[in-house]
Amino acid sequence: MSTPLRALHVYVPALIVALTACTGTEDSDPGKVRPEPDVPQAQDIQTTDLDLNLGALTGTATLVVRPAAGMVTLDVAGLTLSRVTVDGVDAPLNVVRGVLSVAADADAETVTVVVDYSFNARTPLQFDGWMPNLGVTFLWPNYCSNLFPCNPALEDGVTFTMNVTGVDDGLTAIYPTSTHGDGPPYMAAVAVGEYTKMDLGTTTAGTKLSAWYFPGAAELNNAEKGTAHLRDAFDYFEQTYGPYHFGPEAGTVEVDWGADSWGGMEHHPFFHVAKFDFNDEEAQVHETAHGWFGDGVRFTCWEDFVLSEGTTTYITARALEQVDGPNEWPYYVDDFLVPICEGSAPRDPTLVNTVVLPDTCNEIDFENDPIWSLTSYMKGACFYEEVGDEIGADLLDTIIAEFYKANVGKAVRMQDMIDLIEARAGDAHKDAIEAAATDWLRTLECPEDYANRCRTHDP
Ligand SMILES: [Zn+2]
């Protein structure tokens, strides 16, 4: 019954990347620097306009940046630069260990930096960057500089505008001409394929939804099945939590990630769902939900990954329940939480138990840390489920909505969410909420009777 490779989000390809990095495959890139460069936090990339030629493998990035101490510092580790200008004046190509530094007017509120560059085509095994063999880009978690100059730190949200050329005749490139609001640096993406567009309708708030799927009767079937409640779930998120942050149009794009085409990636407004999961409502609504958490509200530290994935997993199940879709709790518990808690899938790195909310900030090696596993999704979802049992799922929704509206477009911490829930739930519930946070988020061992506690909604 269970399919252990199945992930709610991309895992296996990126884990392959992480493992191959140890054998030097990824490190063969000249100038590639990991971990993230130390980009000054006072710096703020406000907008990034990307003009990409996928055939020629060239790009022009136009960034509006608030400089820090008279400098602009950008990660360009995967790029070969040909020209850089600052406010129209040529600047030296000063790249050290993959980081471009250019002087800027110290008194300027913002400067415009234009970078002309080329980038490498990536193989499916390398995975991060533009993969012409698969017709898709992938930049998670911090490989934005394989496609454009950037700051991979999640704290620095950016609004993208995009134009893509160099696409073969007969193929369609799916990308947003604008993301309309600040999202994480990995959010920009393009998918190229022989796509058919399906109209999924318009939400109450007026957001126009579509699905783009590959040719074939089976693919059409999968698209219809996977998106059966997508419009209603999107509508639930808008009506319950707040307005969508990434423009008047959104939708799901079928992508080919090779042999590991499971899960999806939150490239809003046109998010990617891998082809083996394109018929799966949970995967479709999960990537939809990231428009509110993960992208809409970003997380400050990699240790706060649960704020993205735990919240998204919970509101996915919540929305599907509320719009008469499938009940995902047995799937969450039986397929993922049980093997995590029992340690019954020790060779599967996506099902390794861990503390999902450590009290550090950006001190873990995220790509090699067990926080990057389904444990963050499931224990996070169970935390919310148990809080819903304690205070009522409707009240929990109103608190999540308040949190979303206060923090959309910003980066915050999971503790901020816990604090707001405790404040709004009132003193009578504080100890129970704190206990749920301790049991699910801050303790390695799963709590006693964990499966029933998470699976069953108390009336
Ligand atoms: Zn996710």
CATH of the domain at 385: 1.10.390.10
* 171 part of a folded domain: no
Q: How confident is the model at residue 106 (pLDDT cuts 50, 70, 90)?
A: confident
**Per-residue model confidence (pLDDT) at position 454:** 97
Cβ–Cβ < 8 Å for 49, 72: no
Q: How confident is the model at residue 118 (pLDDT cuts 50, 70, 90)?
A: very high
Read off the amino acid at residue 235: D
Provide the 8-state DSSP code for 337: I
Cβ–Cβ < 8 Å for 66, 46: yes
In angstroms, rounded to a whole number, what is the distance separating the alpha carbons of residues 195 and 215?
A: 7
**Per-residue model confidence (pLDDT) at position 38:** 63
In angstroms, rounded to a whole number, what is the distance separating the alpha carbons of residues 403 and 96?
A: 40
* 435 part of a folded domain: yes
With a CB cutoff of 8 Å and minimum separation 6, the contacts of 115 are 60, 61, 63, 74, 76, 79, 81, 83, 84, 100, 149
174 C-alpha to ligand 1 centroid (Å): 20
In angstroms, rounded to a whole number, what is the distance separating the alpha carbons of residues 43 and 102?
A: 13
User: Total structural domains in the chain?
Assistant: 1
What is the mean predicted confidence (pLDDT) over 265-289?
Answer: 98
Q: How confident is the model at residue 37 (pLDDT cuts 50, 70, 90)?
A: low
- The pTM score is 0.92
In angstroms, rounded to a whole number, what is the distance separating the alpha carbons of residues 123 and 403?
A: 40
**Per-residue model confidence (pLDDT) at position 23:** 27
287 C-alpha to ligand 1 centroid (Å): 6
**Tens digit of each residue's pLDDT (9 = 90 or more) over 130-174:** 999 999 999 999 999 999 999 999 999 999 999 999 999 999 999
In angstroms, rounded to a whole number, what is the distance separating the alpha carbons of residues 86 and 105?
A: 9
Read off the amino acid at residue 35: P
pLDDT above 70: residue 14? no
Cis bond before residue 269 (omega within 30° of 0): yes
**Tens digit of each residue's pLDDT (9 = 90 or more) over 51-88:** 999 999 999 999 999 999 999 999 999 999 999 999 99
Cβ–Cβ < 8 Å for 158, 183: yes
**Per-residue model confidence (pLDDT) at position 40:** 63
Q: In the chain, what percentage of residues exceed pLDDT 70?
A: 91
110 C-alpha to ligand 1 centroid (Å): 33
191 C-alpha to ligand 1 centroid (Å): 18
Beta bridge mates, 165: 53
**Tens digit of each residue's pLDDT (9 = 90 or more) over 376-386:** 999 999 999 99
**Tens digit of each residue's pLDDT (9 = 90 or more) over 380-410:** 999 999 999 999 999 999 999 999 999 999 9
**Per-residue model confidence (pLDDT) at position 458:** 84
In angstroms, rounded to a whole number, what is the distance separating the alpha carbons of residues 267 and 189?
A: 6
Q: How confident is the model at residue 2 (pLDDT cuts 50, 70, 90)?
A: very low
* 232 part of a folded domain: yes
pLDDT above 60: residue 1? no
166 C-alpha to ligand 1 centroid (Å): 30
In angstroms, rounded to a whole number, what is the distance separating the alpha carbons of residues 123 and 133?
A: 7
pLDDT above 70: residue 20? no
Cβ–Cβ < 8 Å for 265, 11: no
CB atoms within 10 A of CB 365: 12
In angstroms, rounded to a whole number, what is the distance separating the alpha carbons of residues 379 and 169?
A: 46
* 359 part of a folded domain: yes
226 C-alpha to ligand 1 centroid (Å): 16
pLDDT above 80: residue 369? yes
39 C-alpha to ligand 1 centroid (Å): 26
**Per-residue model confidence (pLDDT) at position 5:** 32
Radius of gyration of the chain (CA): 21
* 53 part of a folded domain: no
Beta bridge mates, 197: 212
17 C-alpha to ligand 1 centroid (Å): 18
* 177 part of a folded domain: no
Which residue segment(s) compose the domain that 260 sits in? 195-459
Lowest mean pLDDT among 28-37, 400-409, 446-455: 28-37
CB atoms within 10 A of CB 19: 14
pLDDT above 90: residue 29? no
pLDDT above 50: residue 105? yes
Cβ–Cβ < 8 Å for 283, 324: no
Lowest mean pLDDT among 199-208, 319-328, 340-349, 416-425: 340-349
